[in-house]
Structure 1
Amino acid sequence: MLRRDLLGAGAGASLLALAGRAATRGALAADAPAAAAPGPFDENTVRRLAQAMAKRPHADPDTRLPHAIDNMSFDDYRSIRFRKETALWRGQGLDFQVEFLPRGFLYRPVIDMFEVENGQAQRVGYNPDLFTYDNPRLRVTDNLGFAGFRIHAPINRADYFDEVCVFLGASYFRAVAKGQLYGLSARGFANGTGDPKGEEFALFRAFWLEKPQPGMTSMVVHALLDGPTVTGAFRFTIRPGGLSGTDETVFDTESVLYPRREITGAGIAPLTGMFYFDANDRQHVDDARAAAHDSEGLSMWTGKGEQLWRPLVNPLDLQFSAFADNTPHGFGLMQRKRSFHDFEDLALNYEKRPSLWIEPIGDWGEGAVDLVELPTPNEVNDNIVAFWRPRNKLVAGAEYAFTYRMHWCWDNPWPTRLARIVDTRLGATLDGKGRFVMIDFAGDSVKDLPPDAKLHAELGTNTGDIRNVVVVPNPAERSWRVTFEFYPGSARIAELHCTLNDEKNALSEQWVYRWTP
């Protein structure tokens, strides 16, 4: 399977994660919890359901499928297509239409779908004739239900409804801004990411789609989360790019979590991306392209106002990093390279993948932005995870609310005068014993400086030696470059940092980097 096929199908999670979930689906619940039903619906309905579920033991959803589709391949799954003429709200003069996704392949649990109108929730009825089938044997008459859904809206031109977002697989979802293609994913909740004991994948068990009024440029989706250690209620107010006057697509997200058991490594607003290689890390990759990744760096704006940039890597061994903070202003997995020539890939167009910035609303207190980097031998697997981890454990029986805004965007939603890191390159030193590091800084604070401006690099490392530091202008790009040699000696890991300074102040965000052999 090629990643281009997976992304083209709108899959909501990586093969790596999905394979782990599929391997644990054997135990079926004899009596799955009654999660949702038609009837009156208000802003507290999903929260009440989540509270009630948290008081009962977790039961795995029934993942049994009819024999004809029990071992469906990816190609089989992709060959089943929703009939666009049957989309929810089609032809009703609204800016939104919803298409539903079939069960099968790795998406086995049935997910309850409801339409909400005038305070009443009605189940979205399943019918096999909602789909077309390239292979007739895949059409079964059982009441299978749905695995997920896609939202369409006219974000690129007024006469065509483009796919804006998709919810499919565990609690995964992804979205695009105006003019973009699918890339990284988000999830409702993470627990145990990078833990050798295994990661928990909670599931969105049911969705409620509020029918928008004519002229509305936003749509509300409610979701019920259920997992072995936690339940939760989510409310997404989705504002597609191109409809509300900006290019970015925004999810205003209200989440309330109810732990069944104590949770020590909770992941709030988790992001999942792919980094295969780039100029800073391609030592074990032999590829004709310049780079291949959905995201190139983790950007952070700390509670103290510091702006940090951590280039991503594809490590040989799992790497876990934690950036402690208090009341963060935001963080995100970002794609800054936006030229075709940055990647040279005619099929995958990585330059059109979204960046995703998380803007916390309210005081999130003490915690850390965690970054997990997993080794991957190719670009099929999502191998990068970032999330906010509260300092304190989540206690069983308590309630925790986290509100945040998700910006699916081309760039950080807030401009800054600080110069930003636009490229990080690493190579061997001339003697072959160290690493030659090249960092390019560009932005308002440096673009108009004269070539003889007195700038210097504020550099540091927790181990090893930094030598031969050079700071020079690049007139062709109106940017500045810092180069240095790093000699790790016997160290197996090193934490480096760098800012570009004038005689008084820092002119750039801070480059933070973990070196490993």
Structure 2
Amino acid sequence: MLAYLSASVAAFTLAPAVRAQTPQANIATMMGDGQRFDPAGVTDIARQLSKKPFVPPQNDLPDVFSNLNYEQYVAIKSLQQPIWSSEGRGIALEPLHRGFVFNNAVDLYIVEDGNIRRLSYDPAQFNFNGINVPNDLKDIGFSGFRLIAQPAEGKPFDFAIVQGATFFRALGRGQNYGVIARALTLKPAEAKGEEFPIFRSFWIERPSVGSNSITIHGVLDSDSTTGAVRMTFRPGDMTIVDVETTLFPRVNLEHVGLGGMASTYFYGPNDRRNADDIRPSVYESSGLQMLNGQGEWLWRPLHNPETLQISAFVDSSPRGFGLLQRERNYDSFQDDDQRFERRPSLWVEPLSDWGQGSVQLLEIPTDAEINDNILAYWRPRAPMAANTEVPFAYRQYWGWNSPERPPLATVIATRSGRGSSGRRRRFTVDFSGEMLGDNWPKDIRSVLTVGPGSFQNLKLLPYPERKTIRVAFELDPGNENACEMRLILEAGGKPISETWLYRWTP
């Protein structure tokens, strides 16, 4: 073993063991164990891989691991210290075992001083806590990795997990994992089924001392496209991730999602379907916020519908969007295990002009809180042509709030319940902001539009002691099965609140 390798890296065997005749084997030939690392080489690998047909990952995981339930899987613990944990670099790395729903193997390469070394799996590195592991178990690889912040002051904390398909999660200090990001989203909610790209290989650069950042390079692959991804993580109270991607479509990509994210909304004050539960609310994200290309702030509360709902918010040159958790009060959830009030908000800002397209929101019916039934992403209007190279980049902010908040009153609560008769529904929407305190504008008015359907009994109820104004009204959908609503507060003929958007369905 070469002298420059750290002791913590050496604890995970470094060897060139790669399965033959696989895309991973071809990748290893181009930029694998013992070679010099070149960031441009990752892009070249994706480019060359796109010229060959997609090869599905091998189904080579022993049944003892593929048949694990969740509790058995999370009981598998590493016996090794995280890589770089003893070097004072501020960030450490822990490879993650395969099993449960994480069946696919991904090759992990460490880059130190420009040199590449592959992390090789050894069952002796893990405590299986009663799982009967075969004695002849060979190198089965890893499913992904975890990143751990080791600040000079304060306790270490996990801040990111990259595992499964092209999924990854991050959080800010003191939070619990929640919303999941996707490096690429393809054909969601289409009749032929969604296409899930996978990561083939990662090259993980050793962090520089004092940099508080780590850079990850990856190659993704699917039936329709390949891609080279570079992700730079900077952990903290708000964890920031820069994502730079170049796609190489094998075919014309008609339905592509950029900056995708998934979350859970089971029930809450505006939607109490499936609410026979001791907890008042169960959700990871309150709603979808958007700052469109015209500078308008939009807020769309989430719900768990009876049927699949797809919403498209058409825009040009979007400035940002994200799934936010606005409820930070324990009393709103009363869940001592999940602690939904600690789940991160995720905000995405394009780092280039994304042109014309739409923010798409998918709300999928679910009768279980374990399902990620909410999906949001940017869908470009123009297809991506086969045999082209398509670059895009964006910045993610994971934390308690979005980095840039509206200089307006924001929606802090949406409630819905049975109306006065028939199919009518009562709604209250609470706006809060400094301008709604003791000196709130006396000419303030609410502007509500509904289509189709109509509304009655529109009321404006100020509570200056709470810096809040409540808008109450009753929706009459008539015989319609979907009504779009738009609400904003105005004073002096100008907006003083973000725009509340909502789709009612039975």
| Alignment TM-score, normalising by the size of structure 1 | 0.90
1:151–1:166 CA contact under 8 A, matched in 2: yes
2:438–2:464 CA contact under 8 A, matched in 1: no
**For residues 305-358 of structure 1, what are the alpha-carbon distances to aligned partners after superposition, in whole Å with 9 as ceiling and x for unaligned?**
010000001011111000011000000000000010111111111000000000
Equivalents in 2 of 1:485, 1:60: separation in Å? 53
Matched residue, 1:20: none
Matched residue, 1:24: none
Matched residue, 1:19: none
Name the aligned partner's letter for residue 312 of structure 1: L
- The reply on whether 1:194 has 2:189 as its aligned counterpart is yes
- The reply on whether 1:408 has 2:403 as its aligned counterpart is no
CA displacement at 1:471 relative to structure 2? 0.7
CA displacement at 1:63 relative to structure 2? 2.1
Aligned pairs (5 A) from 1:28-427: 31-32=22-23, 34-36=26-28, 37-38=32-33, 39-85=35-81, 87-138=82-133, 140=135, 141-154=137-150, 158=153, 160-241=155-236, 247-427=237-417
Identity %: 38
Match of 1:489 among 465, 478, 495: 478
Equivalents in 1 of 2:439, 2:69: separation in Å? 58
Equivalents in 2 of 1:352, 1:79: separation in Å? 23
1:63–1:110 CA contact under 8 A, matched in 2: no
CA displacement at 1:463 relative to structure 2? 0.9
CA displacement at 1:214 relative to structure 2? 1.3
- The reply on whether 1:462 has 2:457 as its aligned counterpart is no
Name the aligned partner's letter for residue 173 of structure 1: F
Name the aligned partner's letter for residue 189 of structure 1: L
Matched residue, 1:516: 505
1:268–1:388 CA contact under 8 A, matched in 2: yes
1:29–1:60 CA contact under 8 A, matched in 2: no
SS at match of 2:143: strand
CA displacement at 1:502 relative to structure 2? 1.2
1:29–1:59 CA contact under 8 A, matched in 2: no
- Deviation larger for 38-47 or 228-237: 38-47
Structure 1 residues 224, 434: CA separation in 2 closer, same or farther (over 3 Å shift)?
same
Equivalents in 1 of 2:320, 2:345: separation in Å? 13
**For residues 454-479 of structure 1, what are the alpha-carbon distances to aligned partners after superposition, in whole Å with 9 as ceiling and x for unaligned?**
21111101111111111111134211
Structure 1 residues 346, 476: CA separation in 2 closer, same or farther (over 3 Å shift)?
farther
Equivalents in 2 of 1:136, 1:439: separation in Å? 52
1:64–1:70 CA contact under 8 A, matched in 2: no
Matched residue, 1:441: 431
**For residues 48-67 of structure 1, what are the alpha-carbon distances to aligned partners after superposition, in whole Å with 9 as ceiling and x for unaligned?**
11000111000001121234
Structure 1 residues 102, 467: CA separation in 2 closer, same or farther (over 3 Å shift)?
same
The size of the alignment, in residue pairs, is 482
1:32–1:62 CA contact under 8 A, matched in 2: no
2:434–2:467 CA contact under 8 A, matched in 1: no
Equivalents in 1 of 2:404, 2:23: separation in Å? 45
2:42–2:228 CA contact under 8 A, matched in 1: yes
Name the aligned partner's letter for residue 27 of structure 2: A
Aligned pairs (5 A) from 1:22-33: 31-32=22-23
CA displacement at 1:287 relative to structure 2? 2.0
**For residues 1-56 of structure 1, what are the alpha-carbon distances to aligned partners after superposition, in whole Å with 9 as ceiling and x for unaligned?**
xxxxxxxxxxxxxxxxxxxxxxxxxxx99754622322111221211110001110
1:319–1:372 CA contact under 8 A, matched in 2: yes
Name the aligned partner's letter for residue 506 of structure 1: P
Structure 1 residues 29, 278: CA separation in 2 closer, same or farther (over 3 Å shift)?
farther
CA displacement at 1:506 relative to structure 2? 0.8
1:248–1:410 CA contact under 8 A, matched in 2: yes
SS at match of 1:513: strand
1:252–1:405 CA contact under 8 A, matched in 2: yes
Equivalents in 1 of 2:415, 2:248: separation in Å? 44
Equivalents in 2 of 1:249, 1:272: separation in Å? 18
CA displacement at 1:447 relative to structure 2? 3.0
1:133–1:139 CA contact under 8 A, matched in 2: no
Q: Which runs of no fewer than 5 residues in structure 1 stay unpaired? A: 1-27, 242-246
Q: CA RMSD in A?
A: 1.7
**For residues 246-284 of structure 1, what are the alpha-carbon distances to aligned partners after superposition, in whole Å with 9 as ceiling and x for unaligned?**
x20000111111111111110111100000011111144
Structure 1 residues 302, 62: CA separation in 2 closer, same or farther (over 3 Å shift)?
same
Equivalents in 1 of 2:434, 2:116: separation in Å? 51
SS at match of 2:341: helix
Structure 1 residues 161, 399: CA separation in 2 closer, same or farther (over 3 Å shift)?
same
SS at match of 1:316: coil
CA displacement at 1:83 relative to structure 2? 2.1
Name the aligned partner's letter for residue 79 of structure 2: R
CA displacement at 1:70 relative to structure 2? 4.2
Structure 1 residues 409, 136: CA separation in 2 closer, same or farther (over 3 Å shift)?
closer
CA displacement at 1:160 relative to structure 2? 3.3
Q: Which runs of no fewer than 5 residues in structure 2 stay unpaired? A: 1-18
**For residues 154-182 of structure 1, what are the alpha-carbon distances to aligned partners after superposition, in whole Å with 9 as ceiling and x for unaligned?**
36x83532111101110111011011000
1:446–1:507 CA contact under 8 A, matched in 2: no
Structure 1 residues 395, 378: CA separation in 2 closer, same or farther (over 3 Å shift)?
same
Equivalents in 1 of 2:454, 2:321: separation in Å? 30
**For residues 76-135 of structure 1, what are the alpha-carbon distances to aligned partners after superposition, in whole Å with 9 as ceiling and x for unaligned?**
2222111242x2112112111111111122212211000112222111122112211111
Matched residue, 1:453: 442
2:214–2:234 CA contact under 8 A, matched in 1: yes
SS at match of 2:174: coil
Structure 1 residues 449, 378: CA separation in 2 closer, same or farther (over 3 Å shift)?
farther
Equivalents in 2 of 1:275, 1:391: separation in Å? 28
